[in-house]
Structure 1
Amino acid sequence: MPTSEIAQIEMLAAVDGLIQQLTNWSQKPTGWRTAQQCQAVIQQLLPRLDMLRVRLESPLVIATFGGTGTGKSSLVNALVGSYCTTSGRQRPTTTQPVLIAHPDTDLDRLGLDLSQFQVEQKPLDQLRNIILIDCPDPDTSEESEGENNLTRLQHIIPLCDILLYASTQQKYRSARVSDELREAAVGRRLIFVQTHAGLDEDIRDDWREQLSQQFEVPEIYFVDSVRALEDQLADRPVDPEFASLQNILSTQLGKSERLQVRRANLLELIQHAIDHCAQKFEQNLPELRELESFLKQQHVTLTTQMSQELRSELLISRNLWERRLLSSISDSWGASPFAMMLRLYNGLGNLIASASLFRARNSAQVALIGALQGARWLGDRHKEQAAEDRLKRIGSFGLDDNTLRESQLLIDGYTQAAGLENQPQLTDSLERLQTEAAHVEEEFLSDAGTKIDGIIGKLARKNSGWFTRLVYESLFLTFVIYALVRIGRNFFMDSFFNESQILPIDFYVTAGVIFLIWTGFLVMMFTRKLKRGLEQEINQLSDELAQAKLSHGLFPHLEQECRQVHSLQHSLVRMGGEVHHLRTEIASSRILGAWKVNEPTGKAGSGASHLSSQ
């Protein structure tokens, strides 16, 4: 298989893949009005792309385009070399379009409604690769059977491959014709012709300067159609300028150029549609970004609020968790001196209550003290049970309905401004959050007590390392050893050998007081460290609970819609890059003009959409 044929097949495969991507893009569900409008534009464009794809091998359809009196019909007659359409004074304005084709051309494949045309079949060689259409004038308002010329023209233009734009010295600055040309030029190649060369001055330089602002203009031909037709009928050589134009249509627009024209037209239509949609996206995305920003702000605000409320609930039982943590650490330390002090501190209340038994003088006092101790035990047990119930209640703890309604009202305003449609109502949002809270309670807080136990175990292991134990045991024993050494030296050495006095009772009282202060200081430092660690863990747990309950935001359907919009935009950008790459592989024609896609013109965008919808 020749390399050129393989390259052509690859190009067609790439175009087919691009069309399939556009089809998939236009069918993606979205509630954003702008995206829906752009999808509608693409859906209107797809049939035309399919038609161009099918017509790759068919003759090129060339339509005349220009204002009234510019000699379009005379130009068509001259190009064919015979009278095919009425021109001149007999019918100065074309009303019914005239289609001129070779008898061997299969007109049914072109998608044209032949009943709307005056069909002329001429067995001429120059018509084997092209079909000529003499179109109505865009700047007249003749009506026939409810249709005017502009309406007829808009039915024909989408089915054409090349526009033969004819103008004169008097008409080339016509604003109305120029506007219609900008609307019709997208997806079609252009040939510019100044007619009436026998009567008018050559204005091509000025015309080119005017056209080049919006069009690529390789060449403008200056011809006298009436004289060219007379020369051909008289078998005389035609003017070189006209001969060059005739040669382009009859010879140079052969099969290779035909494929290039059709591919260029197809890719230009795609690029224009993508650029049009991308521009609409950019114009309307700021409102959507404001909605996204507000959703993030609401998520942060509500998560912080929920985290603070959860933290308050957890910290109510902080003393219970501290006692359990201290008990766990002292148990892991074993029977060391400082661990015994920790146990003594942790059970100080029970110890004091038990000591009161020694003051009892009779059985009634013992019974009363026992009842008080039992009530104290029941109170502690009740606190533990309340703490467990509080943990279980956290699963259904959340935002009240007033907070949700306030958020919903604010969100509705941003949603409407962003152009999002078919969003769930407030009741749906409330029910969704209640369902989500139940799900979190089942999945994340099915055993909240275990999480607290895990925190206590984690902190106990963290504060039971050999270094921590060595530091506190050493500090605690330093004073004890010092006091024992001081007492032992006084009793065994000073009193026997130096006959010094034994330390008085005041020394022991003072040492005992200092011992209590030193022990209390170490216990306070240690428990303070435990409290800070426990509070940090509780804060972290409350944040995790709040994040779990609002892991998808307060309104996940809106967040998903915003992500879908950005996905659609990214797909547009990617497809636009592919189209640009494919267009660069097709060299621009040296003989045909085209609309400059890269120049933004609002009217061109709207006009292209208008014509494509016909």
Structure 2
Amino acid sequence: MHEPQVAQLEMLARLDQATSRAAEWADRRTAWQPLSQAQTMVKRALGRAETLRVRLEAPIVVATFGGTGTGKSSLINAIVGEECTQSGRERPTTRRPIVIAHPKADLEPIGLPLDEVEIVRRDAEILRDLVLIDCPDPDTSETEEAGSNLQRLHALLPYCDVLIYTSTQQKYRSARVAEELGQAAAGCRLVFVQTHADLDEDVREDWRARLREHYEIPDVFLIDSLRGLQEQQASQRPSGDLARLQDLLTTQLAASERMRVRRANVVDLLLGVVGRCRELLQPEAPRLDDLEEALAQQNAALSESLSTTLRGELIGSRHLWERRLLAAVSATWGFSPFSGLLRLYQGLGALIASFALFRSRSAAQMALVGAMQGARWWSGRRAERQAEENLESAFCLDDATLREASLVVDGHRRSAGMLQTEESTRSLTELQGRAAQLERDFLTDAARRIDDVIDRLARRNSRWFVRLFYELMFAAYLMFVLYRVGKNFFYDSWIHDAPLLSTDFYIPALLFFLLWAGLLLMAFTHRLRRGLNAEIDELAREMVHRRFGSGLFPDLEESCRQARGAVMELDAINASLGALRDEIAISTALGGRRAPGATVVSDV
């Protein structure tokens, strides 16, 4: 396969990919009304682009476009070289579109509404690769009513590949015609012709300057159509720019150029519509930003109001978490002197109750001690349940907060043009149910996180250097006391006949042992409490953030994210179409609509 054919197939594949990407974008579901409007525009453009793709091998359709009395019909006659249509300068003479084609031309593949046009066959050389259309004037009717010239014109434009834009010294400033050209130029190549060269002054430079901002204008032809027709009827070559125009139509729009022209028209059509969609969405984007900001502010406000309450409840129940942490540390530490001290401290209440039970002298006393121990256990369990209930109540949102959040968000939703979602129509009761469900999910996660915190702190406070420090500090006093007792018993009393240590030594030693053990316990529990407080602060922040990670209005937040993603995808489509447009090689003699955002340079 030859390289040009491979390049052509590659270009067609990229064009198919671009149109498929645009079609997927247009089919996205969205609740944002401006985006929905843009998607409708893209769908319409894709429908028109499909008609261009179907007609890749059909003859190029060239139509005249211009205001009343600009000599469109006369120009058609001059291009063909013989009378094809009725011409007139004073009033519109073309009321029904006239299609001028070669006798052998098959008009069916073009898709024109043949029952609504007048067909004229002429055996002219220029018509072998072209079909000319003499279009009605766009400025003879203000509204697009059924049967009006404007309606007929708009019905034909989707089938046109090239527009010959005609104007005169009197008409080139017409705002109405310029407005219609802006709509018609999408997906078409343009040729600019100033007619009535025998009567008017040359205004091409001023005309070019007026149009340069929006259109690429490689050339503007100045033609006397009547003179050109007379010269050809006299078997003479037309003089002036008419000959250049005929050469442009026969060479640049020949059969070999059909595919390039139509590919360029498809890309220009899609690029123009995508650019227009971006222009429509740009002023609406701040309202979408306001909605997203309102949702974020509501989440932040709820998080801030609950953060303090949550931390207070966790700190208020700190002794319960300390008890669990101390038990976890003791279990992780294993068996050692200081871990034994921790277990003794943890079970001190039960130990005292056991001593009381041993001192009982009757069944009534034993029952009383058992009842007291049971009441103590029940009180502890009730305290744990109360802490859990307080934790749950910390996340119970009151009706006023929910109602205020709903009203504020709904106002921003309406301003942004976001359609109502299921959650935006919920009653207060349903919104409370939604909040309660989120609270249950949150508390389940909170319980898991608290267990993780206890386990993490237990491992952190059971590392070897922590254990070594406290074991050495605790064992140092024990070794000192044992050394004094052993030295007195085995050495002083046997060798030097010194008296054994009396209770005057053991009682202070026991007292200092209790003080030393208490000091170590205070230091260690302070270490645990300090780490626990830091973890509780972090846990409160994490849980509140997790609680409102999706907020009370997750559907609306998802709609905003989808709209934002669609806008970004539209920008990417615009960039890919722009790159594709730059790579499509078409004749520089044909003008066209500038891509949105394109740099304006001199066409001279």
TM-score of the aligned structures, taking structure 1 as reference length: 0.85
- Map 1:328-367 to 2 at 5 A: 328-330=328-330, 336-353=336-353, 363=361, 367=364
Shift of 1:88: 3.2
8 Å CA contact retained: 2:306, 2:544: yes
Q: CA deviation at 1:264?
A: 1.2
Task: Please tell me whether residue 528 in structure 1 is matched to residue 526 in structure 2.
Answer: yes
Moved more, 570-579 or 91-100: 91-100
**Distance in 2 separating the partners of 1:145 and 1:284:** 32
Counterparts of 1:24 and 1:406, CA distance in 2:
38
What are the ranges of 5 or more consecutive residues in structure 2 without an aligned counterpart? Answer: 600-604
Match of residue 377, structure 1, among 374, 379, 391? 374
**2:564 counterpart letter in structure 1:** H
Task: Please give the alpha-carbon distance, in whole angstroms, between the structure 2 residues aligned to 1:388 and 1:566.
Answer: 45
Instruction: Give 1:610's aligned residue.
Output: none
Aligned CA distance change for structure 1 residues 114 and 336 (closer, same or farther; 3 Å): closer
CA deviations over 1:231-255 (Å, ceiling 9, x no partner): 1112233214221112222343201
8 A contact 1:395–1:440 mirrored in 2 = no
Contact 2:165 / 2:191 at 8 angstroms: preserved in 1? yes
SS at structure 1 position matched to 2:56: helix
- Give the Cα separation in 2 of the matches to 1:174 and 1:311: 72
User: 2:197 matched to 1:200?
Assistant: no
1:457–1:42 CA distance, 2 compared to 1 (3 A): closer
Structure 1 spans left out of the alignment, 5+ residues: 602-614
In the alignment, is the contact (CA less than 8 A) between 2:137 and 2:149 conserved in 1? yes
Query: What does 1:506-517 correspond to in 2, within 5 Å?
Result: 510-517=508-515
Report SS of the residue matched to 1:57: coil
Separation of aligned partners in 2, 1:60 and 1:90: 31
Query: Taking structure 1 as reference, are residues 487 and 209 closer, same or farther at Cα in structure 2, changes over 3 Å only?
Result: same
1:470 — aligned with what? 468
Q: Which amino acid aligns with 2:372?
A: A
Q: 1:331 to 1:122 in 2, by over 3 A?
A: closer
- Note the C-alpha offset of 1:39: 0.9
1:555 matched residue in structure 2: 553
Structure 2: how far apart are the matches of 1:368 and 1:349? 18
CA distance 1:144–1:369, change in 2 (3 Å) = closer
Which residue number corresponds to residue 580 of structure 1? 578
Do the aligned partners of residues 323 and 437 (structure 1) sit closer, same or farther apart at CA in structure 2, a change above 3 Å counting? closer
Distance 1:586 1:458 in 2: 63
Residue type of the partner of 1:400? L
Distance 1:144 1:564 in 2: 36
**What amino acid is aligned across from residue 376 of structure 2 in structure 1?**
G
Q: Secondary structure at the match of 1:192?
A: strand
Inter-partner Cα distance in structure 1 for 2:74 and 2:162? 18
Distance 2:117 2:334 in 1: 106
8 Å CA contact 1:314–1:391 kept in 2: the answer is no
- The match for 2:589 is 591
Paired residue type of 1:574: A
1:443-485, Cα deviation, whole Å (9 max, x unpaired): 758xx5x876665555444433443232112212333444555
Aligned partner of 1:18 in structure 2 is 18
- Of 410-419 and 309-318, the range deviating more from structure 2: 309-318
1:408–1:426 Cα contact (<8 Å) kept:
no
The aligned amino acid for 2:562 is Q
1:137-286 superposed matches below 5 A: 137-141=137-141, 147-286=147-286
Residue aligning to 1:122: 122
Q: Greater shift after overlay, 457-466 or 149-158?
A: 457-466
CA distance in 1, matches of 2:37, 2:230: 53
Q: Secondary structure at the match of 2:235?
A: coil
Q: Pick one of 404, 412, 415 that aligns with 2:402.
A: 404
Residues 329 and 492 (structure 1), Cα distance of their counterparts in 2 relative to 1, 3 Å cut: same
What corresponds to 2:602 in structure 1? Answer: none
Q: Which has the higher mean CA deviation after the structures are superposed, 13-22 or 381-390?
A: 381-390
Identity level (%): 44
Aligned residues: 594
Q: 1:252 to 1:358 in 2, by over 3 A?
A: closer
Q: Which moved more, 1:457-466 or 1:409-418?
A: 457-466
| Distance across 2 between alignment mates of 1:258 and 1:538 | 73
Alpha-carbon spacing, 1:561–1:327, altered in 2? closer, same or farther (3 Å): closer
Verify the 8 A CA contact 1:405 1:426 in the aligned structure 2. Answer: no
* Alpha-carbon separation, structure 2, partners of 1:357 and 1:2: 104
* Paired position in structure 1 for 2:567: 569
**Deviates most, 348-357 or 492-501:** 492-501
Structure 2 counterpart SS, 1:56: coil
Deviates more, 1:480-489 or 1:376-385: 480-489
Q: Distance in 1 between matches of 2:323 and 2:305?
A: 29
1:226 is displaced (CA, Å) by 0.8
Q: Is the 8 A contact 1:287 1:417 kept in 2?
A: yes
- The aligned amino acid for 2:108 is D
Secondary structure, aligned partner of 1:120: strand
Change (3 A) 1:379 1:451: farther
Q: Name 2:80's counterpart in structure 1.
A: 80
Q: Name the CA distance, whole Å, in 1 between partners of 2:450 and 2:26.
A: 52
User: Quick one: which amino acid aligns to residue 167 of structure 2?
Assistant: S
The answer to whether the 8 A contact 2:322-2:528 is kept is: yes
Bigger shift: 236-245 or 328-337?
328-337
Q: Is the 8 A contact 2:356 2:369 kept in 1?
A: no
Moved more, 89-98 or 125-134: 89-98
Q: Structure 1 residues 600 and 409 mapped into 2: Cα distance closer, same or farther (>3 Å)?
A: farther
CA contact (8 A) 1:26 1:43 kept: yes
Aligned pairs for 1:410-489 (under 5 A) are 410-424=408-422, 425-427=425-427, 428-438=430-440, 444=445, 448=447, 456=454, 458-483=456-481, 485=483
Separation in 1, partners of 2:133, 2:230: 21
**1:327, 1:346 within 8 Å by CA — same for their partners in 2?**
yes
Question: Normalization by structure 2: what TM-score?
Answer: 0.86
Distance 1:262 1:231 in 2: 33
Pair 436,106 (structure 1): closer, same or farther in 2 beyond 3 Å: farther
When residues 523 and 18 of structure 1 are mapped into structure 2, their CA distance, relative to the original with a 3 A threshold, is same
1:292 counterpart residue number: 292
State the distance in 1 between where 2:244 and 2:452 align.
91
Shift of residue 134 of structure 1? Answer: 1.6
- Partner amino acid, structure 2, of 1:298: Q
Preserved contact between residue 264 and residue 583 of structure 1 (Cα < 8 Å): yes
Does the CA contact (< 8 Å) of 1:214 and 1:599 recur in 2?
no
- Map of 1:607 onto structure 2: none
Query: In structure 2, do the counterparts of structure 1 residues 367 and 245 end up closer, same or farther at CA, with 3 Å as the change threshold?
Result: same
d(CA) in 2 for partners of 1:338, 1:146? 99
- Alpha-carbon distance in 2 for matches of 1:544, 1:140: 69
Measure the CA separation in 1 of the matches of 2:86 and 2:332.
Answer: 111
CA deviation map 1:431-452 (0-9, x unaligned): 44444555667x758xx5x876
Corresponding position of 1:27: 27
Q: Mark the CA change 1:146 to 1:339 in structure 2 (over 3 Å): closer, same or farther.
A: closer
Q: Give the Å deviation of 1:38.
A: 0.6
User: What's the CA shift for 1:257?
Assistant: 2.4
CA distance in 1, matches of 2:457, 2:359: 40
Shift of 1:22: 1.9
RMSD: 3.6
Gap change, CA 1:515 and 1:202, over 3 Å in 2: same
SS at match of 2:199: coil
Give yes or no for contact 1:193–1:221 (8 Å, CA) kept in 2: yes
- Please identify, of 186-195 and 172-181, the stretch whose mean Cα deviation from structure 2 is larger: 172-181
- Tell me how far apart the structure 1 counterparts of residues 271 and 436 of structure 2 sit (CA, whole Å): 47
Report the Cα offset of residue 325 of structure 1.
3.8
Cross-structure match for 1:606: none
Structure 1 residues 375, 317: CA separation in 2 closer, same or farther (over 3 Å shift)?
A: farther
Amino acid of the structure 2 residue aligned with 1:598: P
| Residues 142 and 149, structure 1, Cα contact 8 Å, conserved in 2 | no
Matched-pair contact (CA < 8 Å) for 2:313–2:394: no
